[in-house]
Amino acid sequence: MDGAAILERLRGRFGGDVVETHDHRGDHTAVVTRGALPRLLAHCHDERPLAFDVLMDLTAVDYLTYPGREDGPRFEVVYHLYSLAHNHRLRVKVRVDEDDAVVPSAVDLWPIADWFEREVWDMFGVRFSGHPDLRRLLLYEEFIGHPLRKDYPIDRRQPLIGPTV
Amino acid sequence: MGVGSFFTSKLDEAIGWARKYSIFQYPFVTACCGMEYMATACSHYDIDRFGAGLPRFSPRQADVLFVVGTISHKLAPVLKRVYDQMTEPKWVVAFGVCTCTGGFYDNYATVQGIDTIIPVDVYIPGCPPRPESVIDGLMKLQDKIAAQAQRY
């Protein structure tokens, strides 16, 4: 199925929950509401014509200082899906505010989402509800803050963790 | 008194001479500097000429800790523990600019110089340092070992 047809199918199925779609040089993107995200991801994963069996990447973007997006929801969580059976791809985005930065976990659909979501929590401070073990992945527990947030000072020094840890 | 101090100083020199030519290193290699360390250690530059030819892969058998490559905050406790496991007398060489100061990794993840964690005897700057710099640093370390007051 080509990208335009995938987006058409999602719009038909989820209606207003698909907030926005666009494509850029053959990469198709659907921006969806947080409420519909679990159903939409499950649909992408389970339906035979879509069969997105690989979660290539799960990451986030901080739009705090992005020109034109300063007032909107601060974070965007991005899912890159790929289907081995059909060799097609889809990008799904969901927008969340800073004071309510929680997204439903996708671990049940793709086990690899476990570490991806831990990394997003580590770097951006976005939480994933339903995640089995949401700890920092790359940094250590004593680390203060989330370094890929745009308001994280680039020269901040963290307290060194002691030798007995 | 004169005889005693005369003997002590001469014994110090003999021990210093022996120690500076029997450097057993522990290579704590984390990054690209490791390639330059290997080049220095192998036959072309051959640090065995300086008595430093045998790396030990247990800190308990090593005299000199070669910290080769970027140290992240997450690795810092590991480095400290390795240092603590080494027996006296022990020395530390900071190999490459990342271990000296953090280098251009002025960011959230990188230790800004290993001397914030453990004492350092010789700093070898460079990104990575050429083998000549490493040998220069090694000879400076030998001078330091030979000249210091020996404990035994």
State the pairing for strand pair B122-124/B64-68: unpaired
pLDDT digits (tens, 9 = 90+) for A138-151: 888 888 889 999 99
Q: E strand or H helix at B68, and its extent?
A: strand B64-68
Q: How confident is the model at residue B8 (pLDDT cuts 50, 70, 90)?
A: low
Percent of chain A having pLDDT more than 70? 96
Q: Cβ–Cβ of B76/A160 closer than 8 Å?
A: yes
pLDDT of residue B124: 93
Residues 25-64 of A with CB under 8 A from B: none
Residue to test with chain B: of A137, A139, A150, most B Cβ within 10 A: A139
Q: Cβ–Cβ of A160/B73 closer than 8 Å?
A: yes
B110 and B17 Cβ atoms separated by less than 8 Å: no
Q: Cβ–Cβ of B81/A161 closer than 8 Å?
A: no
Q: The whole model's pTM is what?
A: 0.79
**Lowest-confidence segment of A69-78, A107-116, A155-164 by average pLDDT:** A155-164
Q: Any idea of the CA torsion for B67, B72, B73, B77, to the nearest 10 degrees?
A: -40
pLDDT digits (tens, 9 = 90+) for B34-67: 999 999 988 899 888 988 888 888 999 999 999 9
Tell me what ipTM this predicted complex has: 0.70
Q: Cβ–Cβ of B74/A140 closer than 8 Å?
A: yes
* Assigned fold of A3-129: Beta Polymerase; domain 2 (3.30.460)
The residue assigned the tokens 């710099």 is B133
Contacts of B106 in chain A (CB under 8 A): 154-155
pLDDT digits (tens, 9 = 90+) for B70-100: 998 888 888 999 999 999 889 999 999 999 9
Greatest alpha-carbon pair distance for chain A in Å reads 58
A1 and A50 Cβ atoms separated by less than 8 Å: yes
pLDDT of residue B1: 47
Closest CA relative to residue A117, chosen from A60, A35, A44, A74? A60
